[in-house]
Amino acid sequence: MAETAITTVLAKVAELVAWEAAVLLEVGDDVRLLRDKLEWLHTFIRDADRRRRLRDDEFVAVWVRQTRDVAFEAEDALDDFLHRAGRRRRRRGPAPPLPGTGARCSGWRWSWRRWRPRCAGLQVALRHDLSARVRQIRKRLDEISANRAAYHIEHAPSPAWAASSATTLAAWDDLEEYTVGFGKYSDMLKEQLLDIDTVPGRALVSIVGESSIGKTTLARKVYQSPEVRNHFAIRTWTVLPPNSRPADVLRDIHRQATSQLRRSPSNGQNAEDGGCDAKGGKDISNSLFRNMTGRRYLVVVDGSIAVADWNSLRASLPDEGNGSRVVLVTDAAGLEVVGYAGGPTYDPIELTRLSPENTYELFRRRVFGLRGDCPGRYKSRYYQDVFRITRGLPLSVVVLAGVLRSKELPAEWDQVMAQLLAAKDQPQHCKSGSGGARRIMSLAFDDLPHHLKSCFLYFAAMPESAPVDAARLVRLWVAEGFVRPRRGSTMEEVGQGYLKELISRCMVQLVDKDEFGTVTAVVVHDRLHAFAQEEAQDACFVESHDSTDVLAPATVRRLAVQNTTDRHVHLGNALPKLRTIVCDFANGGAAKPSVCIHSTDLGFLHASKFLRVIDIHGLELKKLPDELGSMIHIRYLGLQCGQLERLPSTISKLVNLQSLILKGRSGGVLGVTAAFWTIPTLRHVVAPFALPRCLGDLYSLQTLHGVQPRGWDTRAVAGNPLGRATNLRSLELSGLTAANAGALVTALESLDLLVHLVLQGESLPPAVFTVASLRRLQSLRLVGAMEEEEEDAGDEVAVRYIRPNLTRLSMWGTMVGQGFVDMLGELPSLAELTLMWGAYEGERLEFGDGAFRSLQKLRLGLPDLEEWAVSAGSMAALARLTLLRCAKMEMLPEALGGMKELEEVVLYSMPKMVGRIKEDGGLDHHKIKHVPVIQTIW
């Protein structure tokens, strides 16, 4: 797709033109003329891309490819100029960062005035070289335009409705996965899962059907139903990526199971791995078998599984005749394992396409929401058209609804329907499924605004069927230059808006969001993912590989590798055009990181001088090459390396770096040069670093996680250590001591924009609740002892004004008293409260009348707690209650019986309390008998 290539170059040209007064001098006219030519081509190429997909036109395909190649050549010329200019500046002293990096204008202009007299002569050759290359590119564009006329490639403007900006008819998050028409399948599935009397042994339940028929949606609905949640002690859901290993499947099931068991660190076991020695599949298998023994479990496997892998899974799960179930969600080709089930097996539940009535019902809900509907005079017409176009395939219905959600009735709807109906009987060559579904996906993609096309195609670089972290994705978009600045919003907020629009258009599925409306995880349907990969491959946007032999051409610009096998990946050839590398390698867990790439194998990056993004997960790497510092274009550096021992000192030369994300390393801190903390473009730092006494001018810094304030020692700190990072939104500090208290309080007093805060250490200052600057704080986690200050009643009530937006609070080991809890009860927005081991000091805990009025989720893990008293007017909105290892608690509060909003009660390792809530004779049963979901695990 040439449109994305031209969009990228236009953004880069705009940056360079804005910088012209300082750098380009007389070459500015050539660059502006190139921009004008590209803008004209941009209007033509959008239509050409659409026509290329609709019909097999070789002339159009050649014209699109040639235009794209010239756009790439223009990008290379501009990047080469910026790279060479940056290297000369670096050798001759401080200079401004490259344009478009988010640095403050005044800073780089001041630096430019210091640098310019020393290097003006050296810029002449660079300017002349760029000017010559730009003129040659313009000449080629003129020739391509002449060929378009010679071969009669006419411009047919896109339909008037394309990329319309009409108001959507339903909110972006009003898109619940409705199982319309699946009532009978849902009943069949529940019957097979709960049928313990007829089939007490472990049984295999299978759901089959063609791709995008709704198998996963059906299974997820039943999996989350109250009946199923009450019936099974442990539930796990595993999505099988292509070429997945048996050990990875077992490890994922084991991780989910042990997290539900909530093993305590006091037992000598890690809460994540349940204490298993994750050195191989055999140990994982044994540990999984032990943890599942004595418990009724439900294991869902979503995807095609080989017979050998099925045998490995079957051997790792006990069969104790207690009604445990394994559910396989797959297509007809994946049913081979049914013959090897080795135990009770139900007949497959085979899904068929929707009826005309159910097709329109799903369409209606997706466009208008749960209660809205199409106006009566249009209803019957669209009722028939939607079914004729989609033939009852749920994914096609959903994607078509996503297009029409932003279109006006009836004119634009009629144009969309007419185009799809006219193309319905035309032959179409496609690689990803039926022509009808492909046509709808193509139309939905063509309808995206320019900036969203690149954002959607970027999912081709992500693993198939796996949830994608939204924060990571948005940071990558920003680093790539896809996100356009908007006054009054950060780039990350604009990127969140892009993601929500893709969700609203049903091109992306929402997996999870937080209490503040921020998207935290998304996924792309496997069929849409295949479409994105095909489009990205055709457009040379992303080169994707999932095998062990990555034969990437030297001209590749973005390379994505997803490898989930035990074998090595060889990446040896030089990639001089490479801008982005995104890799997700096999990861054997914390005890055995992947060995897919060794540090010496990163030599292929040395020739990639234009790199902007390095994002590699599951990598065993002890050090990074010193040559990293020469890649001055890098905006995003993300590594998940458990063995990383040091960073090169040259990292401070990455003057355009926006995000540094280093995860997976356990213990200690990494050394980083002090000059790193002066990179003005830094926006996100997630790394185990020791903070210096004072940061540089990091006015763009928004995220600072994993750091320790070792430089904030007992000596007086000159000024505020975070005084020049006042735009911080998210801060996580560990290793805090009493000596850091003064500097920490001073720092918090300047962070007016902070919304997320985590403090961990041996001593935490109570001022975190009284500093008046943190009025926007929404999420707070405290791990460590905190002295409770003596406050009068007036000060306790005032907390409602000091922390009006605090929504989520988690406390571990803080040892606070009843007076502090009373203060927390006054917080007006507190919706989620967690008090875990050592958080509360006392044997009796009381929630007074009217306290915690907004609380929806409460988790208590207080082993020394004997009595929990709750007044009748407290926690009126409570929906979920979790009690963990409160073994001394004698009874449940009587007030629970009057909490009408309570939906779920979970008890972990509380055998005496389980006896008290039994339906027959339990003394506390009447208090929670109205609760739909009651889970007990011990």
pLDDT mean over 507-511: 92
- Arithmetic mean of pLDDT, 887-904: 94
Task: Count each helix (H run) and each strand (E run) in the chain, helices first.
Answer: 24, 27
Given a cut of 90, whether residue 720 has pLDDT beyond it is: no
Indicate whether 220 pLDDT > 70: yes
Give the mean model confidence (pLDDT) for residues 452-464. 93
Better pLDDT: 718 or 344: 344
Percent of the chain with pLDDT over 70: 80
Interval 667-681 mean pLDDT: 88
Q: What is the pLDDT of residue 713?
A: 61
Domains of the chain, by residue range, sit at 1-89+122-151, 182-263+285-350, 354-420+436-539, 543-588+597-664+682-688, 690-788, 807-937
Please give the pLDDT value at position 241.
77
> How much is the average pLDDT of 399-409?
89
* Average pLDDT value for the chain: 82
- The predicted pLDDT at position 167 comes to 39
Q: Which residue has the higher pLDDT, 100 or 862?
A: 862
pLDDT of residue 82: 76
What 650-653 contacts at long range (C-beta under 8 Å, 24+ apart), as own/partner pairs, is: 650/626, 651/624, 651/676, 652/676, 652/678, 652/679, 653/90, 653/629
Q: What is the pLDDT of residues 154-209, one digit of tens each?
A: 655 555 455 444 434 456 566 556 678 889 999 999 999 999 989 999 999 999 99
Reported as a single tens digit per residue, the pLDDT across 371-393 is 778 888 888 888 899 999 999 99
pLDDT at 734: 94
Which of 235-239, 264-268, 377-381 is predicted with the least confidence, judged by mean pLDDT? 264-268
Q: What is the pLDDT of residue 888?
A: 93
The pLDDT value given to residue 853: 94
Phi, psi angle pair for 379, to nearest 5°? -60, -50
| 223 band by pLDDT with thresholds 50, 70 and 90 | very high
Q: Give residue 54's pLDDT band: very low, low, confident or very high (50, 70, 90).
A: low
At residue 434 the predicted structure's pLDDT band, cuts being 50, 70 and 90, is low
Higher pLDDT, 532 or 280: 532
| Model confidence pLDDT, tens digit, residues 852-869 | 999 999 999 999 999 999
Answer whether 117's CB lies under 8 Å from 123's CB: no
Residue 264 is predicted with a pLDDT of 36
* Residue 111 reports pLDDT greater than 90: no
Residue 897 has which token pair? 């019986």
Q: How confident is the model at residue 826 (pLDDT cuts 50, 70, 90)?
A: very high
The answer, yes or no, to whether residue 110 has pLDDT greater than 50, is: no
Closest CA to 212 of 568, 525, 540: 525
Tell me, what's the pLDDT at 16?
Answer: 66
Can you give the pLDDT at residue 432?
Answer: 41
CA dist 509 and 500 (Å) reads: 10
Q: Flag whether pLDDT at 311 surpasses 60.
A: yes
pLDDT higher at 336 or 124: 336
Per-residue pLDDT tens digits for 787-810: 766 554 444 447 777 899 999 999
In angstroms, rounded to a whole number, what is the distance separating the alpha carbons of residues 786 and 815? 7
| pLDDT on residue 275 | 42
Predicted confidence (pLDDT) at residue 98 exceeds the cutoff of 90: no
pLDDT tens digits for range 581-631:
998 875 544 334 444 444 445 667 788 889 999 998 877 777 788 888 888
| From the candidate CATH numbers 3.80.10.10, 3.40.1500.10, 3.40.50.300, 3.90.199.10, the one assigned to the domain spanning 543-588+597-664+682-688 | 3.80.10.10
Alpha-carbon 440 to chain mean position: 26
Angle, CA of 659, 450 and 428, to the nearest 5°: 120
Output the pLDDT for position 150: 76
Q: Are the C-beta atoms of 386 and 358 separated by less than 8 Å?
A: no
| Residue 278, pLDDT above cutoff 60 | no
Question: Which band of pLDDT confidence, cut at 50, 70 and 90, is reported for residue 431?
Answer: very low
The pLDDT score that the predictor gives to residue 715 is 53
Residues 273-301 have a mean pLDDT of: 75
144: pLDDT strictly greater than 70: yes
Question: Domain 182-263+285-350 maps to which CATH number in 3.30.1490.20, 3.40.50.300, 3.10.129.10, 3.60.15.10?
Answer: 3.40.50.300
pLDDT tens sequence across 726-765:
999 999 999 999 888 889 999 999 999 999 999 999 999 9
d(CA 758, CA 731): 6
Query: Can you tell me the mean pLDDT for 882-897?
Result: 93
Q: Mean pLDDT throughout 693-718?
A: 82
Q: What is the mean pLDDT of residues 131-149?
A: 82
The CATH number corresponding to 1-89+122-151 among 1.10.3470, 3.30.1490, 1.20.5, 3.30.70 equals: 1.20.5
Distance CA(928)–CA(911), nearest Å, equals: 16
What the block records as the tokens of 237 is 């859901």
Helix, strand or coil, per DSSP, at residue 471 = helix
Secondary structure class of 592 (helix, strand, coil): coil
Residue of 38 and 341 predicted with greater confidence: 38
